[in-house]
Amino acid sequence: MDTKLTSVEEGKLCTIQYINAGQKATKRLFEMGLHTGALARVKKNDNMGPLILGIHGSNVAVGRKIADNIFVKVGE
């Protein structure tokens, strides 16, 4: 079942299933390594400020409004 990225607990590994954002936002996320099939670990999600994701060996900050439009499958 697909879950919004904002609902994933810290420390969990997830796979991006799809991104339901505008073309510019989706392109920017792709440039940051967030695309369908990418594995990411949620490093910070404390319901305040951006989410911090570990992806492709880097930490990436994603704002809550955008993260609310990223749907993932939680794997761990």
DSSP-based three-state secondary structure for 70:
strand
The DSSP output letter for 7 is: G
Which of 74, 68, 9, 16 has its CA nearest to residue 43?
9
13: nearest Cα among 47, 53, 50: 53
pTM for this prediction: 0.90
Number of domains in the chain: 1
Q: Give the pLDDT band (50/70/90) at residue 1.
A: confident
Q: What mean pLDDT do residues 32-41 have?
A: 94
12: CATH:
2.30.30.90
Could you report the per-residue pLDDT of 44-73, keeping only the tens digit for each? 999 889 999 999 999 999 999 999 999 999
Average pLDDT of span 6-30: 94
Q: By residue range, what is the domain housing residue 8?
A: 3-74
